Structure 1
Amino acid sequence: MEFRDLKKQYQKHKERFDCAVIKTMEEGVFIGGDAVEKLERRLEDYVGVKHCITCANGTEAMTMVMMAWDIGEGDAVFVPDFTFFSTAEIVAFRGATPIFVDVDPNTFNMDPIKLEACIQSVLNAKRWTPKVVIPVDLFGLPAAHNEIGRIADRHNLRILEDAAQGFGGCIGDKKAGSFGHVATTSFFPAKPLGAYGDGGAIFTDDDVLANQIRSIKVHGKGINKYDNIQIGVNSRLDTLQAAILNVKLDLFIDRELADVNHIKALYDDRLKEVVVTPYIPEEYISSYAQYTVKLKSKEQRERLKLYLGALGIPSMVYYIKPLHKQEAFKMLQTDEESCAVTTDLCDQVLSLPMHPYLTEAEVDEICKAVKTFLIAEAVTA
Structure 2
Amino acid sequence: MDTETVSPIPFLDLKAQQSRIGPALRARLDAVLAHGQYILGPEVAELEEKLAAFCGATHCVSVSSGTDALQIALMAENIGRGDAVFLPAFTYTATAEVPLLLGATPVFVDVDPSTFQIDLNSLQARIADVKRAGKLVPRAVIGVDLFGQPADWPAIRNIAAGAEMFTLDDCAQSFGAALGNERLGRAADATATSFFPSKPLGAYGDGGALFTESAERAALYRSLRTHGEGTTRYEVLRTGMNGRLDTMQAAVLLAKLDVFESEILRREAIARIYDTELAGLVETPARVPDSTSAWAVYSILLPNQAVRDSVQAALRDQKIASAVYYPRALHQQPAYAASHDGTKMPVAEELGARILALPIHPDLTDAQALRVAATIRAALAG
- Which residue in 2 is equivalent to 1:132? 140
1:213 CA displacement: 1.2
Q: Please tell me whether the aligned partners of residues 57 and 186 of structure 2 are also in contact (alpha carbons under 8 angstroms).
A: yes
Matches within 5 A, 1:189-268: 189-253=197-261, 255-268=262-275
> Which residues in structure 2 correspond to 1:251-330 (within 5 Å)?
251-253=259-261, 255-330=262-337
* Alpha-carbon distance between aligned partners in 2 of 1:181 and 1:282, rounded to the nearest angstrom: 22
Mapping 1:63-82, distance limit 5 Å: 63-82=71-90
Q: In angstroms, what is the RMSD of aligned CA positions?
A: 0.9
Report the counterpart of residue 356 of structure 1 in structure 2: 362
CA distance in 2, matches of 1:363, 1:325: 34
Mapped partners of 1:359, 1:336: distance in 2: 44
How big is the shift at 1:332?
A: 2.9
Residues 3-60 of structure 1 show CA distances to partners (whole Å, capped at 9, x for unaligned) of 0111110011211111111121112111112111110001111111111000100001
Unmatched tracts of structure 1, length 5 or more: 377-381
CA distance in 2, matches of 1:78, 1:282: 23
Judge conservation of contact 2:85–2:142 (CA < 8 Å) in 1.
yes
Structure 1 segments, 4+ long, off by >4 Å, are none
Does residue 94 (structure 1) correspond to residue 102 (structure 2)? The answer is yes
Task: Give the Cα separation in 1 of the matches to 2:141 and 2:289.
Answer: 24
CA separation in 2, counterparts of 1:306 and 1:82?
Answer: 24
Q: Which residue of 2 aligns with 1:372?
A: 378
Contact 1:324–1:334 (CA under 8 A) maintained in structure 2: no
Contact 1:131–1:157 (CA under 8 A) maintained in structure 2: yes
Counterparts of 1:154-193 in structure 2 under 5 Å? 154-193=162-201
- For 2:338 and 2:101, how far apart are their aligned partners in 1? 15
More off after superposition, 9-18 vs 196-205: 9-18
Q: 301-310 or 315-324: which moved more? A: 301-310
> C-alpha separation between the residues in 1 aligned to 2:116 and 2:104?
25
TM-superposition CA deviations, 1:100-138 (whole Å, max 9, x none): 000000000101111000000100110100000000000
Residue 117 of structure 2 corresponds to: 109
TM-score (norm. length: structure 2): 0.96
Return the alpha-carbon distance in structure 2 between the equivalents of residues 224 and 184 of structure 1: 26
Count of matched residue positions in the alignment of Structure 1 and Structure 2: 374
What is the Cα deviation at residue 295 of structure 1?
0.3
Which residue pairs with 1:379 in the alignment?
none
TM-score between both structures, scaled by the size of structure 1: 0.97
Match of 1:33 in 2: 41
Q: Which residue of 1 aligns with 2:6?
A: none
**Percent identity (aligned):** 39
- Classify the secondary structure of the residue corresponding to 1:99: strand
SS of equivalent residue, structure 1 residue 274? coil
Distance 1:333 1:263 in 2: 39
Match of 1:15 in 2: 23
- SS of the residue corresponding to residue 79 of structure 1 reads strand
Contact 1:132 1:160 (8 Å CA) reproduced: yes
Show CA shifts across 1:191-222 (max 9, x none). 01100111000000111111111111111101
- Provide the residue aligned with 1:340 in structure 2: 346
State the alpha-carbon separation in 1 of the partners of residues 341 and 19 from structure 2: 47
| Bigger Cα displacement from structure 2, 25-34 vs 71-80 | 25-34
Segments of structure 2 that go 5 or more residues without pairing to the other structure are: 1-8
**How far apart in 2 are the matches of 1:107 and 1:282?**
10
- Following superposition, the deviation at residue 98 of structure 1 comes to 0.3
User: How far, CA to CA, are the matches of 1:37 and 1:106 in structure 2?
Assistant: 39
3-state SS in 2 of match to 1:164: coil
- Counterpart-to-counterpart distance in 2, 1:216 and 1:300: 48
CA deviations 1:77-116 (Å, max 9, x no partner) are 0010000000000010001000000000000010111100
